[in-house]
Homo-oligomer: A and B are copies of this chain.
Amino acid sequence: MRKINPKDFTRATRGTSREINRQIVLTLIRTHQPVSRADLARLMETNRANITLLVNELLEEKLVREGARGSLRVPGRKPTFLYINSAKGVAIGLDVRASRTYMMVTDSIGKQIGEIVSFATRFEPAEFVASLGWQVRKALSEVGVKSCDGIGIVFPGMVDRESGVVINAPKLGWKYVPLIEMLEKEFEGTEIHLENSGRACALSQIWSTRGDVHGRNDSVFVSVSDGVGVGVVINGELLRGKHNTAGEFGHIPLSIDGPQCSCGAHGCWEAYISNLATLSRYFGRDVSRRQPEAIEAIEFTIEDLITRARGGDSKALTALHSAARYLGLGLASVINAIDPSFVYIGGEITEAWDLIESQVREAIKERTLTRELGRTSIRIVPAVEHPRLRGAIALVTAPAFAAPKVA
């Protein structure tokens, strides 16, 4: 039950109904294509006349295109299939990580074009921007276009999406860097979007065409990697907060006297379950103390740890089980707080899900408040789905399909 904000509301004008239905039609074509006008009329429980008018408008704006005629097995005129017109342009998605930066090129509805490429991440902001400029232009020329619809960047740290400032990215050693401002000079006239890793993963779940995240399905995305990023989806919308920093469940404590975290505080969830924390427990020393520049040089990764665990290294398995328990304890807090329909988990450690699931589940049950909460559905997002890159792309492509602001 939403309250109408008496200081900032949107009145319904003559065109409001049309705007609403237009966006619904666009969304339905996106999620159901190929789809005919008659199909849309049935899906929306309206008559074909209305759909014709709406679709013709979308056709004129070249947002939608007509495709081949379908073939029915029953008697009757063949339907004309409709598609989102993706021939318009391309979108660039960038996943910046401490070691390397990954790049994906898609058409304007997020369908991948070519291969994902990666290059070393520069730690000096100016160099970073220059290398991005070079790489993006190279990728665009390979696709055969000069410009793109927009660039979405996912950053491993705290960012303010609105101002475009990287507030704090300990992994790169950045504090209050006006990244978008710098990039706008590099890519003049191109829209650039910035988002935090965890929230971007959540975005990718919202806007994936398959899309089981919407409406009354509140959900949480937890990305476990060098850090712990969390994105929360409420009412089909990403929770952003006043300063665009909402979702930092990574720094709720398990024990306020626990190990020191990269954020400066003690005992954060992240300090227990980040890849470095798990590796530290395995090696019995503090790997996290290294300087950011040296991260790339660490040869032994969490994947190696998982391989060893599978190979029979009981110490490695113990380290994973320990991480699993802490993961579950923290998830319990998230579940108690948000009561989501789904919790999505991404990150390298999910490769070992079969080894750790029971430990995670047990820890969740231990600290959730009801039986139902303890049974909250958990879904693993495999790395091959590239949730961060998909989230970066969604930053560019999603706005066209968003619900109109009403009332």
Which residues in A have some Cβ–Cβ distance to B below 8 Å?
1-9, 11-14, 16-18, 20-21, 23-24, 27-28, 30-32, 44-46, 158, 167-168, 206-207, 211, 213-218, 232, 234-249, 251-258, 263, 265, 267, 329, 333, 336-341, 366-367, 369-370, 372-373, 376, 398-399, 401-404, 406-407
Contact = CB atoms under 8 A, between A and B. Distances in A.
Given A2-B236, A11-B45, A251-B336, 6 more contacts: A12-B17, A20-B407, A244-B339, A251-B369, A252-B336, A406-B406
A211 B254 CA distance: 35
A391 B265 CA distance: 36
Given A241-B340, A329-B256, A403 B398 contact: no
B20 A6 contact: no
B339 A245 contact: yes
Given A206-B3, A242-B340, A407-B406, A370 B253 contact: no
A308 to B, nearest CB: 28
A337 B248 contact: yes
Given A31-B6, A267-B255, A402-B2, A337 B249 contact: yes
B20 A11 contact: yes
Contact of A370 (B1, B158, B214, B267): B158
- Listed from nearest, the 10 A-B pairs whose CB atoms lie closest are A241-B339, A5-B215, A12-B17, A246-B339, A5-B214, A12-B20, A255-B255, A248-B336, A3-B236, A6-B31
A14 B18 CA distance: 10
A159 B231 CA distance: 26
B45 A8 contact: no
B206 A243 contact: no
7 contacts: A3-B211, A11-B45, A11-B46, A218-B239, A251-B369, A254-B256, A403-B407
B251 A253 contact: no
A245 B373 contact: yes
A263 B21 contact: no
Contacts of A404: 407
A4 B16 contact: no
A136 to B, nearest CB: 24
